[in-house]
């Protein structure tokens, strides 16, 4: 009960006073349990989103092999869940590595912990993405491939292009991209404060360590959007 | 003197012959009894019912009901002021054996108006009084009925339509060799003559024929038939008027979406049948200036029932064109092909090749603003904290 109250107060601090939150966190024992739970919630919502989003692709491939529709949709769920944890580790690794340039010190586990806490806005972002997916994906009309198409790569390519160029799908991709950029920037603010304490570097150095990969990430998202 | 004797001899001979005949024609009790058992066993008219001025036959069968005596008849005739005898009487002597039937056939003409008449058949016996019989015969001028039972609401030039006609026989007798002949100027009728054959009294027959008019005209439907040996006709007109069939299938294209990939435009949409008849073999294709391309040069939607709809996709290339006509065609139940065109704007969605030059502006602007606020905010925050 006491732990719950402390967690509630801590989450409020994280959202409103991240500097104080992470300063206080440094006085506690390193633990990734709560960050892992935050990412689990985000991952479950993300998995639900992946299930919805994989629908048109699964429908497109349904004619190629019996049961492939279910396989695709069920595969998307664990991939999305694992992906959340994978990105947690990758972000942490990047921040940890960059902070070396600024002579940062502090354990990887502590960095992992602060990045996990900083991912709290991703829960809201995942929820919003799920709602958008449920609104847009049913409007996507997926072309259906037949057995004959399996022997013709051009037909498969045409079908994939048709799916990508579907107006609803294009609009969905653009909206989801903006949402993901918005929430990753929100998380980045927390990561800067967290990294400052986790790696014992200045706020300016922490901002550089976070801003560079985050802006890079945003550019990749934009590039993907343009190329698609 | 010699001549006088010769004339006298001839006269005596004739007198003897005449006297002998008078003795033979003399009615005895037996001959009268035998004649009383002679009766008219059957009367047959052909046709059974006459039109006025029809010619036909009446067959009278006379049976000798005696088992052991024959009768000799020497005259038979049929007479009536309304029924004209055209074949003459039977004037030769004939013997009708015991139990035998003798047939007398007369050709007659019904020169009277409609009604029932009773011509008199008389049969003279050599050794008895004559037999008289009055068989009834009907004269009825009711013709066969010709009714157009089904036809399209309107005809169109060079479009084949089916017409259904009912031929009914309201007469009391059967008619033979019923033939429907359809004629008209500037129109092709298939078949133009339809043989129906015999039509029994009180029955009807339905026939179909197709009409392909080149111009508005009037079809003349003539029904030829034989009443006995007499040919009769009855005719009716069928105006061929051009117009729009109110029930015809009306496919409408909607929900059109255009996208392009590597210079090939993909147009998808729905075809709804807003008419009251089925649109068969509905196809969609693109017309010039578009050039149909694989995989969907022409899309076959198939049959669309009223209120039904089907999706289509056509692919084509088009250069320097903002609009491309789509042609929609279908067939009606008679196989006529109907076409309609609808222009489609082909600037709706960029192709993938064009995308690099046509960026999604809104997401980029939004992303730049977010990055700007993010970095600018931190720069401002760091400077303020530094001070």
User: Does B280 map to a domain?
Assistant: yes
The answer to whether the peptide bond before residue B47 is cis (omega within 30 degrees of 0) is: yes
Top pLDDT among B171 and B317 is at B171
| Lookup: tokens for B46 | 């052909």
User: pLDDT tens-digit profile of B177-204?
Assistant: 999 999 988 888 989 899 999 999 999 9
| Average predicted confidence (pLDDT) for chain A | 85
User: pLDDT tens-digit profile of B137-152?
Assistant: 999 999 999 999 888 8
Establish if A150 touches chain B: CB-CB under 8 angstroms: no
Top pLDDT among B334 and A124 is at A124
| Lookup: tokens for A177 | 């991209």
State residue B5's pLDDT score.
55
Top pLDDT among B306 and B105 is at B105
State residue B359's pLDDT score.
62
User: Does B361 map to a domain?
Assistant: no
Domain endpoint, select from B202, B218, B240: B240
| Co-location of B130 and B162 in the same domain | no
Domain endpoint, select from B139, B155, B177: B139
User: pLDDT tens-digit profile of A144-183?
Assistant: 666 666 666 766 776 777 777 777 788 888 899 999 999 9
Top pLDDT among A55 and B232 is at B232
Establish if B333 touches chain A: CB-CB under 8 angstroms: no
| Co-location of B78 and B153 in the same domain | no
User: Does B16 map to a domain?
Assistant: no
| Co-location of B112 and B61 in the same domain | yes
Position B263 confidence tier, pLDDT thresholds 50, 70, 90: low
State residue A228's pLDDT score.
67
| Co-location of B94 and B175 in the same domain | no
State residue A163's pLDDT score.
76
Per the listing, tokens 């997926």 go with: A142
Res B365 pLDDT > 70: yes
| Lookup: tokens for B336 | 């006529």
| Co-location of B153 and B99 in the same domain | no
| Average predicted confidence (pLDDT) for chain B | 82
What integer is the mean pLDDT of B348-354?
Answer: 42
Q: Residue A177: its chain B contacts at CB < 8 A?
A: 363, 367
Res B12 pLDDT > 80: no
Query: Which of A207, A210, A213, A223 would you mutate first to test chain B, the one with the most B CBs within 10 A?
Result: A207
State residue B96's pLDDT score.
87
What integer is the mean pLDDT of B16-26?
Answer: 44
User: Does B152 map to a domain?
Assistant: yes
Total domains in chain B come to 3
| Lookup: tokens for A155 | 């037909």
| Co-location of B288 and B337 in the same domain | yes
Q: Residue A155: its chain B contacts at CB < 8 A?
A: 295
Closest residue on chain A to B257 (Cα)? A167
User: Does B162 map to a domain?
Assistant: yes
State residue B255's pLDDT score.
81
Q: Residue A211: its chain B contacts at CB < 8 A?
A: 374-375, 378
> Which span out of A82-86, B21-25, B32-36, B352-356 was modeled with the highest average pLDDT?
A82-86
State residue B15's pLDDT score.
45
Residue B273, phi then psi, degrees to nearest 5:
-95, 105
In chain B, how many H helices and how many E strands? Answer: 4, 27
Q: What is the CATH number of the domain that holds B286?
A: 2.60.40.10
Position A48 confidence tier, pLDDT thresholds 50, 70, 90: very high
Between helix A121-136 and helix A167-198 the angle, nearest 10°, is 180
What integer is the mean pLDDT of B284-296?
Answer: 80
User: Does B297 map to a domain?
Assistant: yes
Position B274 confidence tier, pLDDT thresholds 50, 70, 90: confident
Contact A226 B366 (CB under 8 A): no
Query: Which of A18, A118, A158, A216 would you mutate first to test chain B, the one with the most B CBs within 10 A?
Result: A158
| Co-location of B267 and B283 in the same domain | yes
What integer is the mean pLDDT of B358-377?
Answer: 82
Burial of B275 (0-12, 13-18, 19+ CB in 10 A): buried
User: pLDDT tens-digit profile of B228-244?
Assistant: 999 999 999 988 888 87
Closest residue on chain B to A221 (Cα)? B367
State residue B179's pLDDT score.
93
| Co-location of B131 and B69 in the same domain | yes
* Complex ipTM value: 0.78
Partner residue opposite A203 with nearest CB, options B295, B370, B382: B382
Residue B337: domain span: 251-352
Q: Are B155 and B242 in contact (CB under 8 A)?
A: yes
Position B107 confidence tier, pLDDT thresholds 50, 70, 90: very high
Between helix A108-118 and helix A167-198 the angle, nearest 10°, is 130
Domain endpoint, select from B139, B158, B174: B139
Top pLDDT among A9 and A212 is at A212
User: Does B211 map to a domain?
Assistant: yes
Establish if A206 touches chain B: CB-CB under 8 angstroms: no
Res B69 pLDDT > 70: yes
State residue A1's pLDDT score.
39
Position B356 confidence tier, pLDDT thresholds 50, 70, 90: very low
Residue B74, phi then psi, degrees to nearest 5:
-130, 0
Top pLDDT among B266 and A32 is at A32
Q: Are B58 and B44 in contact (CB under 8 A)?
A: yes
Res B378 pLDDT > 90: no
Q: What 3-state DSSP class applies to B118?
A: coil
| Co-location of B224 and B258 in the same domain | no
């Amino acid at each position: 009960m006491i732990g719950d109250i402390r967690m509630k107060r801590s989450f409020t601090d994280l959202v409103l006073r991240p500097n104080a939150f992470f300063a206080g966190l440094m006085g506690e024992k390193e633990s990734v349990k709560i960050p892992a739970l935050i990412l689990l919630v985000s991952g479950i919502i993300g998995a639900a989103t992946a299930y919805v989003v994989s629908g048109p692709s699964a429908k497109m491939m349904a004619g190629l092999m019996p049961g492939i529709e279910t396989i695709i949709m069920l595969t998307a769920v664990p991939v999305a869940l694992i992906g959340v944890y994978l990105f947690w580790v990758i972000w942490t690794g990047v921040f940890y590595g960059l902070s070396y340039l600024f002579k940062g010190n502090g354990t990887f586990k502590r960095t992992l912990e602060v990045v996990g806490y900083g991912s709290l806005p991703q829960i809201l972002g995942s929820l919003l993405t799920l709602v958008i997916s449920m609104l847009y994906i049913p409007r996507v009309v997926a072309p259906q491939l037949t057995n004959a198409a399996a022997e013709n790569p051009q037909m498969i390519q045409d079908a994939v292009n048709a799916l990508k160029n579907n107006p609803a799908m294009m609009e969905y991709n653009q909206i989801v991209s903006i949402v993901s950029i918005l929430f990753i920037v929100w998380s980045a603010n927390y990561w800067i404060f967290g990294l400052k304490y986790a790696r014992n570097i200045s706020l300016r150095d922490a901002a550089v360590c976070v801003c560079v990969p985050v802006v890079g990430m945003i550019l990749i998202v934009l590039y993907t959007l343009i190329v698609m | 003197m010699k001549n006088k004797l010769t004339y006298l001899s001839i006269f005596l001979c004739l007198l003897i012959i005449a006297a002998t005949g008078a003795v033979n024609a003399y009615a005895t009790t037996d001959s009268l009894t035998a004649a009383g058992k002679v009766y008219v066993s059957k009367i047959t008219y052909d046709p059974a019912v006459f039109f006025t001025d029809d010619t036909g036959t009446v067959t009278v069968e006379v049976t000798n009901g005696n088992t052991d005596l024959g009768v000799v008849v020497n005259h038979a005739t049929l007479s009536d002021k309304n029924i004209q005898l055209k074949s003459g009487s039977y004037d030769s002597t004939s013997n009708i054996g015991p139990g035998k039937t003798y047939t007398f056939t007369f050709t007659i003409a019904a020169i009277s108006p409609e009604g029932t008449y009773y011509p008199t058949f008389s049969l003279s016996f050599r050794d008895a009084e004559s037999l008289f019989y009055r068989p009834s015969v009907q004269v009825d001028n009711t013709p066969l009925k010709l009714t157009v039972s089904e036809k399209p609401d309107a005809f169109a030039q060079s479009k084949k339509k089916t017409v259904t006609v009912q031929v009914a026989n309201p007469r009391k007798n059967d008619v033979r060799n019923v033939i429907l002949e359809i004629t008209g100027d500037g129109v092709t009728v298939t078949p133009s003559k339809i043989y129906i054959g015999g039509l029994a009294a009180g029955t009807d027959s339905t026939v179909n024929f197709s009409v392909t008019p080149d111009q508005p005209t009037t079809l003349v439907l003539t029904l030829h038939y034989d009443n006995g040996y007499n040919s009769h006709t009855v005719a009716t007109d069928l105006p061929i008027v051009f117009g729009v069939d109110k029930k015809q299938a009306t496919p409408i294209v909607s929900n059109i979406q255009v996208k392009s990939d590597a210079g090939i435009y993909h147009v998808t949409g729905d075809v709804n049948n807003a008419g009251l008849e089925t649109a068969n073999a509905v196809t969609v294709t693109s017309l010039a200036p578009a050039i149909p391309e694989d995989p969907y040069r022409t899309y076959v939607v198939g049959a669309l029932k009223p209120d039904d709809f089907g999706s289509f996709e056509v692919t084509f290339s088009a250069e320097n064109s903002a609009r491309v006509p789509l042609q929609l065609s279908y067939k009606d139940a008679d196989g006529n092909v109907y076409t309609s065109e609808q222009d489609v704007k082909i600037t709706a969605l960029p192709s993938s090749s064009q995308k690099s030059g046509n960026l999604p502006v809104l997401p980029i602007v939004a992303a730049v603003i977010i990055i700007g606020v993010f970095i600018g905010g931190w720069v401002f925050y760091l400077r303020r904290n530094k001070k």
